[in-house]
Amino acid sequence: MDNTVQILKSGDLVEVLQPEEILKTLDSNGQLDGLPFMPEMIPYCGKKFKVRLKVEKTCVNCIFPDNKLKTTIKEFLYNDVVFLEDLRCTGIDHGHCQRGCMIFWRQAWLKKANDIIGDTSINPEGSLKLREKLKTKESENKYFCQSTELHNATQYISSSKRFFKMFKEFTSGGLNILQAIKAIFLPSWRKFNKIPQPKGSLRETPVEYLYLEAGELVEVRPFKEILHTLNKQGKNKGLKFTLDMKQYCGKQFKVRNKLEKMIREETGEMLEIKNTVILEEATCTYPYLFAGCPRAEFHYWREIWLRRVN
């Protein structure tokens, strides 16, 4: 579908369209050009938000023919997707998934607003009709959401095009100069210097239960202490501690939420998680992907990697 719309940039004020208007843009699967409009997005209809940035590119987790999980950079079909402020999926209609993914918005679902005062009331009947159109599962054991459909809504791009898109992010206000420099040079520097991922030496990794709740203040343990909780694959009970997480060691954060259930992007299956939390503002910076990714996915933290701050 050719959804030519107004060009939006960081800081623009927009209003999410009425449910009836959004319904007209969707196919039989509740998608526009492969990207689903999810039930969790309906409460935002008629409300006004500022554009955080135009999503020129995004990381996508894929299972390749060799059966290996890899993360690659792709662009959306028609290149017409934005983030609105910090609107994240609640997961309430997808089995209460707790990942807290940023919501992708097709520009066809938005219109420019003149002022921030006053939201537009919506028709409950229109909301109901829209909700009936949207699906949340492919099958009994496979969920259907923006995350699981990213591979269908995007296409591969070359390294040169990544650089061009990063330049567009910079000129439109989506990146500052420091972020742009890091996105170019940091992945190459780490690759050239062969900086390894964190790895431990354990066969059986330990568990610690802090029973953390949302709002509690914690400190990420020193990196050397965390290494003593990892196996030779850099994991604790199957969860990897990545080099990107090292930057948060020694810093304090509030617990955003427990992570007990999450949808696996590449398969759509719901995973059950134990003694793990998400921390506010501790997001992935994708330091290994040339030109970076704006997706700002949350890191997942075993409680043994944290300690309470009294």
User: Above pLDDT 70, what percent of the chain?
Assistant: 96
Give CA–CA dist 49/17, Å, rounded: 12
Burial of 166 (0-12, 13-18, 19+ CB in 10 A): buried
**Contact by Cβ (8 Å): 253, 220:** yes
The pTM score is: 0.91
Whole-number pLDDT of residue 295: 92
SS (H, E, C) 234-263: CEECCEECCHHHHHHCCCEEEEEEECCEEE
Tell me the three state secondary structure of residue 301: strand
Say which residues have a Cβ less than 8 Å from residue 237's Cβ, sequence separation at least 6: 205, 207, 274, 302
What residue type is assigned to position 231 of the chain?
A: N
Q: For 185-238, what is each residue's pLDDT tens digit? A: 877 777 777 888 899 999 999 999 999 999 999 999 999 999 999 999 999 999
Whole-number pLDDT of residue 5: 52
- Run of H or E including 53: strand 48-54
Locate 153 and state its tokens.
């809504």
Give CA–CA dist 109/188, Å, rounded: 37
Whole-number pLDDT of residue 189: 77
| Angle, CA 60 vertex, CA 18 and CA 109 arms, to 5° | 10
**Contact by Cβ (8 Å): 68, 225:** no
CB neighbours (10 Å) of residue 58? 20
As a residue count, the chain comes to 310
Which residues in 2-18 are b (16+ Cβ under 10 Å) and which e? eeeeeebebebebbbbb
- Closest Cα partner for 137 from 20, 270, 261, 273? 270
Tell me the three state secondary structure of residue 130: helix
CB neighbours (10 Å) of residue 85? 10
Q: Where are the domains of the chain?
A: 13-171, 190-308
Q: For 108-151, what is each residue's pLDDT tens digit? A: 999 999 877 777 888 899 999 999 999 999 999 999 999 999 99
Whole-number pLDDT of residue 65: 66
- Greatest mean pLDDT range, 9-13, 89-93, 194-198: 89-93
What residue type is assigned to position 284 of the chain?
A: C
Greater pLDDT, 115 or 36: 36
Greater pLDDT, 162 or 102: 102
Q: How confident is the model at residue 245 (pLDDT cuts 50, 70, 90)?
A: very high
- Closest Cα partner for 18 from 42, 46, 50, 49? 46
